[in-house]
Amino acid sequence: MSRIAVYVGLDYHQHSVQVCIMDREGELLFNRRCANEADAIVALVTGYGEVRGVAIESCCGAADLAEQLIQQAGWVVDLAHPGFVSRMKQSPDKHDWGDARLLADLERIGYLPRVWLAPEEVRELRRLVRYRQQIVDERRNIKLRISALLREQRQVKPPANPWTRRWLTWLRHEVVLSEQGRWIVDRHLNKMLNVLDELQEVEMRLHQLTVHDPLVRQLSLLKGVGSVTAWTIRAEIGRFDRFRTGKQLSRFCGVSPRNASSGERQADAGLIKAGNSRLRAVLIESAHRLRRYDARWRDLSDRMEARGKSRCVVVAAIANRWVRWLFHQMQPDQLAA
């Protein structure tokens, strides 16, 4: 019994995991709930046979559990794309028992839609990069609240451009506000100072974490790529050689056009609705810079605009082609050279 090949599906939850064990022929051996602990899962599964593959839906915490199972038991653990897995279900009902069984069955027959299990150092970088983005979002929200309060108090003619040093001096000492409006603005400005200090601290930590990273160093040498763009690309893409082609990488980044053809009608429908939104944003921002400061992409922009293409279409096209070019530049053999 202990020598039979088994396949395992794990439906992950915060406090428990639904464990389904299936043999090579698809016969169900076990499907029950277990504690969300790697030791408990390993002890339960090893009694049923030799584990040939384990599948977990990619979600918050699943990557850490997969890493623990790989290190403790030496299993082959695959993360599954939750969107594609849900489309493969043959029933509209959803329950843990069926979800774990489907994962085990897809792993058994080799049809599991896999996603990349990022190593620990990449996951740690992602946490820092996403934390930095939360701080940036908080800064933006503070600015929006201050701007809304100034409009409410009919302060529509400031003496300088918003958020310049002169404008901040005016806001702090000169603008006439109501008693409560002044109190609120001062509180927002004090909070802004704390947010800026926090942003500076996390960026310093990101620099220390990536100072010896060859991929970040190579990205930082490219035109149109600053530190934030390099950190984001490294965190969200991880390794460029895990993609087969530049087109596949572009689709992963969400900067390739989405085809909307049917029959004799051939059309595009904007960018594909996939990928990490922050990664796509920094790539679009880089395309804006490339369009202005790099001769190659400026020429492409001029040709497309001469054909009547809108500015947003031109920038998206530059981002798409630049990512495909970047795929070849960031391969390990290129970095080694």
Helix runs in 74-178, H state only:
82-87, 96-109, 120-152, 165-169
Concatenated DSSP letters of 3-65: TSEEEEEEEE-SSEEEEEEEETT--EEEEEEEES-HHHHHHHHTTT-EEEEEEEE--TTHHHH
- Helix 227-237 to helix 179-210 angle (10° resolution) is 70
Domain coordinates in residue numbering, the chain: 5-115, 120-211, 215-336
8-state DSSP, 161: -
Q: Please state which CATH class domain 5-115 belongs to.
A: alpha beta
The Cα–Cα gap between 46 and 163 comes to 61
3-state class of 269 per DSSP? strand
State the distance between the two ends of the chain, measured CA to CA, in whole angstroms: 52
pLDDT for 260: 66
pLDDT for 78: 94
pLDDT in tens, the chain (337 residues): 457 899 999 999 999 999 999 999 999 999 999 999 999 999 999 889 899 999 999 989 899 999 999 999 999 999 999 888 888 887 788 889 999 999 999 999 999 999 999 999 999 999 999 999 999 999 999 999 999 999 999 987 888 899 999 999 999 999 999 999 999 999 999 999 999 999 999 999 999 999 999 999 999 999 889 999 999 999 999 999 999 999 999 999 988 887 766 666 666 667 777 778 899 999 999 999 999 988 999 999 999 999 998 898 899 999 999 999 999 998 877 666 5
Sign of the alpha-carbon dihedral angle for 67, 205, 136, 195: positive
Nearest partner of 158 among 148, 169, 149, 170, judged by Cα: 170
pTM of the model: 0.86
pLDDT for 212: 92
pLDDT for 261: 66
Q: b/e map of 296-312 (b: 16 or more CB within 10 Å)?
A: ebeebbeebeeeeeeee
Please check whether residue 72 is in contact with residue 58, taking contact to mean a CB–CB distance below 8 angstroms. no
Tokens of 119: 């190593």
Order of strands across the sheet with 50-57? 28-35, 16-23, 5-12, 50-57, 77-80, 114-115
pLDDT for 1: 43
Nearest partner of 45 among 54, 36, 337, judged by Cα: 54
How far apart, in Å, are the Cα atoms of 1 and each of 23, 28, 288? 11, 14, 62
